[in-house]
A = this chain, B = another copy of it.
Amino acid sequence: MQQNERTEISEFGEFGLIEHLTKNNEITQAGTLLSVGDDAAVIDQFGKQMVVSTDLLIEGIHFDLMYTPLKHLGYKAVAVNLSDIYAMFATPTHITMSIGISNKFSVEALEEFYEGVYAACQKYNVDLIGGDTSSCQKGFIISVTAIGEVAPDKYVTRSGAKVNDLICVSGNLGAAYLGLQLLEREKKIFLENPGIQPDLEDQSYLIRRILKPEPRAEIVEWLQENNITPTSMIDISDGLSSELLHICKSSNVGCVLYEGKIPFHPDTEKMALEFLLDRTSCALSGGEDYELLFTIKQEDYEIMKTNAHISVIGYITEKEKGTYMLSKGGNNHKLIAQGWNAFS
Protein backbone atom coordinates (compact mmCIF):
# COMPACT_ATOMS: atom_id res chain seq x y z
CA MET A 1 0.00 0.00 0.00
CA GLN A 2 1.30 3.39 -0.94
CA GLN A 3 -0.30 6.14 1.07
CA ASN A 4 0.44 9.82 1.01
CA GLU A 5 -1.57 10.42 4.13
CA ARG A 6 -2.15 8.22 7.08
CA THR A 7 -5.08 8.75 9.41
CA GLU A 8 -5.20 6.35 12.34
CA ILE A 9 -8.45 4.46 12.76
CA SER A 10 -8.42 5.34 16.46
CA GLU A 11 -8.94 9.01 15.52
CA PHE A 12 -12.44 8.12 14.36
CA GLY A 13 -13.57 5.47 16.83
CA GLU A 14 -15.96 2.73 15.78
CA PHE A 15 -19.04 4.84 15.08
CA GLY A 16 -17.12 7.68 13.46
CA LEU A 17 -15.36 5.19 11.22
CA ILE A 18 -18.56 3.53 10.04
CA GLU A 19 -20.10 6.94 9.38
CA HIS A 20 -17.01 8.04 7.47
CA LEU A 21 -16.77 4.91 5.33
CA THR A 22 -20.46 4.79 4.50
CA LYS A 23 -21.01 8.47 3.73
CA ASN A 24 -20.82 7.77 -0.01
CA ASN A 25 -23.05 4.72 0.21
CA GLU A 26 -25.71 4.99 -2.49
CA ILE A 27 -29.04 3.24 -2.16
CA THR A 28 -30.54 2.11 -5.46
CA GLN A 29 -32.98 -0.64 -4.50
CA ALA A 30 -36.50 0.69 -4.03
CA GLY A 31 -36.98 -1.89 -1.29
CA THR A 32 -34.25 -0.50 0.97
CA LEU A 33 -36.21 1.28 3.70
CA LEU A 34 -33.42 1.70 6.23
CA SER A 35 -29.71 1.23 5.63
CA VAL A 36 -26.47 1.54 7.64
CA GLY A 37 -26.73 3.36 10.96
CA ASP A 38 -29.37 1.64 13.12
CA ASP A 39 -29.45 -1.67 14.99
CA ALA A 40 -30.46 -3.35 11.76
CA ALA A 41 -31.41 -2.55 8.18
CA VAL A 42 -34.98 -2.83 6.90
CA ILE A 43 -35.86 -4.06 3.42
CA ASP A 44 -39.25 -4.33 1.83
CA GLN A 45 -40.01 -7.53 -0.03
CA PHE A 46 -43.36 -7.12 -1.68
CA GLY A 47 -45.12 -5.53 1.26
CA LYS A 48 -43.58 -7.69 3.94
CA GLN A 49 -40.66 -6.07 5.69
CA MET A 50 -37.48 -7.75 6.73
CA VAL A 51 -34.87 -6.68 9.20
CA VAL A 52 -31.20 -7.63 8.80
CA SER A 53 -28.37 -7.25 11.30
CA THR A 54 -24.82 -8.54 11.46
CA ASP A 55 -22.05 -8.79 14.06
CA LEU A 56 -18.43 -9.84 14.06
CA LEU A 57 -16.97 -11.37 17.25
CA ILE A 58 -13.23 -11.87 17.53
CA GLU A 59 -11.31 -13.80 20.18
CA GLY A 60 -9.14 -11.51 22.26
CA ILE A 61 -11.32 -8.50 21.41
CA HIS A 62 -14.88 -9.58 22.20
CA PHE A 63 -14.35 -12.69 24.27
CA ASP A 64 -11.71 -14.49 26.32
CA LEU A 65 -11.80 -18.27 26.02
CA MET A 66 -10.05 -18.60 29.34
CA TYR A 67 -13.35 -18.04 31.11
CA THR A 68 -15.89 -18.36 28.31
CA PRO A 69 -17.22 -21.90 27.82
CA LEU A 70 -17.64 -22.55 24.10
CA LYS A 71 -21.27 -23.51 24.54
CA HIS A 72 -21.99 -20.15 26.15
CA LEU A 73 -20.06 -18.41 23.41
CA GLY A 74 -22.19 -20.06 20.73
CA TYR A 75 -25.33 -19.08 22.60
CA LYS A 76 -24.17 -15.50 23.12
CA ALA A 77 -23.09 -15.04 19.48
CA VAL A 78 -26.68 -15.78 18.44
CA ALA A 79 -28.30 -13.93 21.35
CA VAL A 80 -26.58 -10.59 20.76
CA ASN A 81 -27.63 -10.61 17.11
CA LEU A 82 -31.22 -11.43 17.96
CA SER A 83 -31.10 -8.53 20.41
CA ASP A 84 -30.48 -6.18 17.45
CA ILE A 85 -33.51 -7.59 15.65
CA TYR A 86 -35.78 -7.18 18.71
CA ALA A 87 -34.43 -3.63 19.07
CA MET A 88 -36.05 -2.92 15.70
CA PHE A 89 -39.40 -4.10 17.20
CA ALA A 90 -39.12 -7.11 14.89
CA THR A 91 -39.15 -10.88 15.36
CA PRO A 92 -36.03 -12.83 14.36
CA THR A 93 -36.59 -15.76 12.01
CA HIS A 94 -33.23 -16.84 10.54
CA ILE A 95 -29.50 -16.57 11.09
CA THR A 96 -26.35 -17.40 9.20
CA MET A 97 -23.22 -18.22 11.19
CA SER A 98 -19.67 -18.14 9.80
CA ILE A 99 -16.65 -19.15 11.81
CA GLY A 100 -12.91 -18.86 11.30
CA ILE A 101 -10.90 -21.24 13.48
CA SER A 102 -7.26 -22.03 14.02
CA ASN A 103 -6.14 -25.62 14.36
CA LYS A 104 -5.91 -25.30 18.14
CA PHE A 105 -9.63 -26.15 18.13
CA SER A 106 -10.77 -29.75 17.93
CA VAL A 107 -13.98 -30.96 16.33
CA GLU A 108 -15.28 -31.67 19.86
CA ALA A 109 -14.69 -28.02 20.80
CA LEU A 110 -16.69 -26.90 17.76
CA GLU A 111 -19.48 -29.32 18.62
CA GLU A 112 -19.71 -27.66 22.02
CA PHE A 113 -19.86 -24.24 20.37
CA TYR A 114 -22.64 -25.37 18.02
CA GLU A 115 -24.59 -26.88 20.93
CA GLY A 116 -24.86 -23.33 22.25
CA VAL A 117 -25.78 -22.00 18.81
CA TYR A 118 -28.59 -24.52 18.43
CA ALA A 119 -29.81 -23.95 22.01
CA ALA A 120 -30.25 -20.24 21.28
CA CYS A 121 -31.89 -20.95 17.90
CA GLN A 122 -34.38 -23.30 19.54
CA LYS A 123 -35.15 -20.99 22.44
CA TYR A 124 -35.90 -18.07 20.11
CA ASN A 125 -37.44 -20.12 17.32
CA VAL A 126 -34.88 -19.12 14.74
CA ASP A 127 -33.47 -21.26 11.91
CA LEU A 128 -29.76 -21.49 11.19
CA ILE A 129 -29.78 -21.42 7.38
CA GLY A 130 -26.19 -21.06 6.30
CA GLY A 131 -22.66 -20.05 6.96
CA ASP A 132 -19.07 -20.44 6.03
CA THR A 133 -16.33 -22.32 7.83
CA SER A 134 -12.73 -21.36 7.33
CA SER A 135 -9.40 -21.83 8.97
CA CYS A 136 -7.53 -18.84 10.33
CA GLN A 137 -3.99 -18.50 11.58
CA LYS A 138 -4.90 -17.56 15.12
CA GLY A 139 -7.89 -17.61 17.42
CA PHE A 140 -11.59 -17.81 16.77
CA ILE A 141 -13.67 -15.49 14.58
CA ILE A 142 -17.47 -15.52 14.55
CA SER A 143 -19.72 -13.66 12.13
CA VAL A 144 -23.48 -13.83 12.54
CA THR A 145 -26.17 -12.30 10.37
CA ALA A 146 -29.71 -12.31 11.74
CA ILE A 147 -32.86 -11.82 9.70
CA GLY A 148 -36.24 -10.94 11.16
CA GLU A 149 -39.67 -9.88 10.05
CA VAL A 150 -41.87 -6.99 11.04
CA ALA A 151 -45.36 -5.88 10.07
CA PRO A 152 -45.21 -3.22 7.31
CA ASP A 153 -43.82 0.06 8.63
CA LYS A 154 -44.03 -1.14 12.23
CA TYR A 155 -40.26 -1.24 12.71
CA VAL A 156 -38.82 1.16 15.28
CA THR A 157 -35.61 3.09 14.60
CA ARG A 158 -33.37 5.23 16.76
CA SER A 159 -34.62 8.41 15.20
CA GLY A 160 -38.25 8.79 16.27
CA ALA A 161 -37.92 10.14 19.83
CA LYS A 162 -39.96 13.34 20.37
CA VAL A 163 -39.83 16.06 23.03
CA ASN A 164 -41.61 14.95 26.24
CA ASP A 165 -41.44 11.26 25.36
CA LEU A 166 -40.54 9.08 28.33
CA ILE A 167 -37.26 7.16 28.33
CA CYS A 168 -37.69 3.52 29.37
CA VAL A 169 -35.32 0.64 29.95
CA SER A 170 -35.98 -3.07 30.45
CA GLY A 171 -34.55 -5.20 33.27
CA ASN A 172 -31.55 -3.84 35.12
CA LEU A 173 -28.18 -2.43 34.15
CA GLY A 174 -24.51 -2.82 35.02
CA ALA A 175 -24.73 -6.54 35.84
CA ALA A 176 -22.80 -7.76 32.79
CA TYR A 177 -19.97 -5.32 33.46
CA LEU A 178 -19.62 -6.50 37.06
CA GLY A 179 -19.79 -10.11 35.91
CA LEU A 180 -16.89 -9.34 33.58
CA GLN A 181 -14.89 -7.72 36.40
CA LEU A 182 -15.44 -10.84 38.49
CA LEU A 183 -14.23 -13.13 35.71
CA GLU A 184 -11.20 -10.93 35.04
CA ARG A 185 -10.34 -10.93 38.76
CA GLU A 186 -10.55 -14.70 38.98
CA LYS A 187 -8.50 -15.07 35.81
CA LYS A 188 -5.78 -12.90 37.32
CA ILE A 189 -5.79 -14.88 40.56
CA PHE A 190 -5.68 -18.15 38.61
CA LEU A 191 -2.77 -17.00 36.44
CA GLU A 192 -0.82 -15.97 39.54
CA ASN A 193 -1.76 -19.05 41.59
CA PRO A 194 -2.94 -21.86 39.32
CA GLY A 195 -3.80 -24.00 42.37
CA ILE A 196 -6.55 -21.70 43.64
CA GLN A 197 -10.12 -22.53 42.60
CA PRO A 198 -12.31 -19.66 41.41
CA ASP A 199 -14.70 -18.19 43.97
CA LEU A 200 -17.75 -17.61 41.80
CA GLU A 201 -20.37 -19.76 43.47
CA ASP A 202 -22.58 -16.98 44.81
CA GLN A 203 -22.23 -14.87 41.68
CA SER A 204 -24.22 -16.92 39.23
CA TYR A 205 -26.51 -13.99 38.32
CA LEU A 206 -23.70 -11.60 37.36
CA ILE A 207 -21.74 -14.34 35.58
CA ARG A 208 -24.79 -15.38 33.61
CA ARG A 209 -25.43 -11.80 32.53
CA ILE A 210 -21.99 -11.57 30.89
CA LEU A 211 -21.60 -15.15 29.61
CA LYS A 212 -25.16 -15.98 28.57
CA PRO A 213 -27.15 -12.83 27.86
CA GLU A 214 -30.75 -13.17 26.70
CA PRO A 215 -32.32 -10.85 24.12
CA ARG A 216 -35.45 -9.23 25.59
CA ALA A 217 -37.98 -10.94 23.33
CA GLU A 218 -40.70 -10.86 25.98
CA ILE A 219 -40.46 -7.07 26.31
CA VAL A 220 -41.10 -6.61 22.59
CA GLU A 221 -43.95 -9.12 22.73
CA TRP A 222 -45.52 -7.38 25.74
CA LEU A 223 -45.33 -3.99 24.06
CA GLN A 224 -46.90 -5.40 20.89
CA GLU A 225 -49.67 -7.15 22.84
CA ASN A 226 -50.42 -3.92 24.67
CA ASN A 227 -50.41 -1.89 21.46
CA ILE A 228 -47.53 0.29 22.58
CA THR A 229 -45.20 1.20 19.75
CA PRO A 230 -42.04 2.88 21.07
CA THR A 231 -41.10 6.09 19.28
CA SER A 232 -37.45 4.96 19.25
CA MET A 233 -35.56 1.88 20.39
CA ILE A 234 -32.02 0.53 20.69
CA ASP A 235 -30.41 -2.35 22.55
CA ILE A 236 -27.78 -1.63 25.18
CA SER A 237 -24.55 -3.19 24.02
CA ASP A 238 -22.17 -0.29 24.74
CA GLY A 239 -23.63 1.22 27.93
CA LEU A 240 -26.70 3.31 28.67
CA SER A 241 -24.94 6.61 28.06
CA SER A 242 -23.66 5.75 24.59
CA GLU A 243 -27.02 4.27 23.50
CA LEU A 244 -29.09 7.16 24.82
CA LEU A 245 -26.79 9.56 22.97
CA HIS A 246 -27.35 7.52 19.78
CA ILE A 247 -31.11 8.00 20.17
CA CYS A 248 -30.75 11.73 20.94
CA LYS A 249 -28.41 12.31 18.00
CA SER A 250 -30.52 10.32 15.53
CA SER A 251 -33.76 11.89 16.79
CA ASN A 252 -32.29 15.39 17.01
CA VAL A 253 -33.40 15.86 20.62
CA GLY A 254 -31.94 16.25 24.12
CA CYS A 255 -32.69 14.30 27.29
CA VAL A 256 -32.82 14.29 31.06
CA LEU A 257 -31.88 11.01 32.72
CA TYR A 258 -32.61 10.51 36.46
CA GLU A 259 -29.73 8.73 38.13
CA GLY A 260 -32.06 7.59 40.90
CA LYS A 261 -34.34 5.81 38.43
CA ILE A 262 -31.69 3.58 36.83
CA PRO A 263 -32.60 -0.02 37.76
CA PHE A 264 -30.04 -2.29 39.41
CA HIS A 265 -30.10 -5.89 40.55
CA PRO A 266 -29.19 -6.38 44.26
CA ASP A 267 -26.17 -8.48 43.22
CA THR A 268 -24.96 -5.61 41.04
CA GLU A 269 -25.20 -3.16 43.92
CA LYS A 270 -23.36 -5.51 46.25
CA MET A 271 -20.58 -6.31 43.81
CA ALA A 272 -20.10 -2.66 42.82
CA LEU A 273 -19.43 -1.93 46.51
CA GLU A 274 -16.99 -4.84 46.69
CA PHE A 275 -15.09 -3.54 43.65
CA LEU A 276 -15.30 0.07 44.89
CA LEU A 277 -17.03 0.93 41.61
CA ASP A 278 -19.78 3.48 41.16
CA ARG A 279 -22.78 1.46 40.10
CA THR A 280 -24.16 4.34 37.99
CA SER A 281 -20.93 4.38 35.99
CA CYS A 282 -21.27 0.63 35.48
CA ALA A 283 -24.72 1.20 33.97
CA LEU A 284 -23.73 4.24 31.92
CA SER A 285 -20.50 2.89 30.45
CA GLY A 286 -20.31 -0.82 31.22
CA GLY A 287 -22.15 -2.25 28.27
CA GLU A 288 -23.13 -5.80 27.25
CA ASP A 289 -26.39 -5.67 29.23
CA TYR A 290 -28.48 -6.28 26.07
CA GLU A 291 -31.47 -4.63 27.70
CA LEU A 292 -33.78 -2.53 25.53
CA LEU A 293 -33.69 1.25 25.77
CA PHE A 294 -36.71 2.96 24.23
CA THR A 295 -38.91 6.02 24.28
CA ILE A 296 -42.71 6.10 24.52
CA LYS A 297 -45.38 8.75 24.30
CA GLN A 298 -46.56 10.07 27.67
CA GLU A 299 -50.05 8.66 27.00
CA ASP A 300 -48.61 5.12 27.15
CA TYR A 301 -47.33 5.64 30.72
CA GLU A 302 -50.37 4.19 32.50
CA ILE A 303 -50.02 0.85 30.77
CA MET A 304 -46.22 0.90 30.91
CA LYS A 305 -46.08 1.21 34.68
CA THR A 306 -47.97 -2.08 35.05
CA ASN A 307 -44.91 -3.93 33.74
CA ALA A 308 -42.45 -4.49 36.58
CA HIS A 309 -39.67 -5.30 34.09
CA ILE A 310 -39.67 -1.83 32.57
CA SER A 311 -38.41 1.32 34.30
CA VAL A 312 -39.06 4.91 33.24
CA ILE A 313 -35.70 6.62 33.72
CA GLY A 314 -36.07 10.06 32.17
CA TYR A 315 -37.60 12.10 29.39
CA ILE A 316 -36.77 13.65 26.04
CA THR A 317 -36.15 17.41 25.76
CA GLU A 318 -35.48 19.93 23.02
CA LYS A 319 -32.09 19.47 21.42
CA GLU A 320 -30.94 22.87 22.71
CA LYS A 321 -31.32 21.68 26.29
CA GLY A 322 -28.54 19.15 25.80
CA THR A 323 -28.18 15.60 27.10
CA TYR A 324 -27.94 15.46 30.89
CA MET A 325 -28.20 13.17 33.85
CA LEU A 326 -29.72 14.58 37.03
CA SER A 327 -27.73 12.99 39.85
CA LYS A 328 -29.19 11.77 43.13
CA GLY A 329 -27.44 14.75 44.72
CA GLY A 330 -29.41 17.10 42.45
CA ASN A 331 -26.59 18.02 40.07
CA ASN A 332 -26.70 18.01 36.27
CA HIS A 333 -24.00 15.95 34.55
CA LYS A 334 -23.51 16.11 30.80
CA LEU A 335 -23.80 12.62 29.35
CA ILE A 336 -20.71 11.42 27.53
CA ALA A 337 -20.24 8.28 25.50
CA GLN A 338 -17.59 6.34 27.35
CA GLY A 339 -18.81 3.04 25.99
CA TRP A 340 -16.58 0.35 24.71
CA ASN A 341 -14.39 1.56 21.84
CA ALA A 342 -12.75 -1.30 20.03
CA PHE A 343 -10.19 1.04 18.50
CA SER A 344 -8.95 2.89 21.59
Contacts and interface: CB of A to CB of B under 8 A. Distances in A.
Nearest to A105: B9
Contact of A43 (B17, B22, B129): B129
Interface in A27-60: 27-29, 31-32, 34-36, 40-41, 43, 45-48, 50, 52-58, 60
A94 B43 contact: yes
B52 A122 contact: no
B141 A40 contact: no
Copies in the complex: 2
A114 B26 CA distance: 12
Given A20-B107, A110-B21, A93 B130 contact: no
Contact of A127 (B9, B28, B109): B28
A24 B118 contact: yes
A133 B93 contact: no
Interface in A126-185: 126-139, 141, 143, 145, 147, 149
A10 interface: yes
A276 interface: no
Given A36-B130, A36-B131, A43-B147, A52 B9 contact: no
Given A56-B100, A103-B8, A145-B54, A32 B108 contact: no
Nearest to A43: B94
Contacts of A3: 106, 108-109
Contacts of A48: 45-46, 48
28 contacts: A1-B65, A1-B109, A3-B108, A3-B109, A5-B106, A9-B106, A9-B110, A22-B114, A32-B127, A36-B129, A36-B130, A36-B131, A43-B147, A45-B50, A52-B130, A53-B96, A53-B130, A54-B96, A56-B141, A58-B137, A60-B136, A60-B137, A61-B135, A61-B137, A62-B134, A96-B145, A135-B342, A145-B145
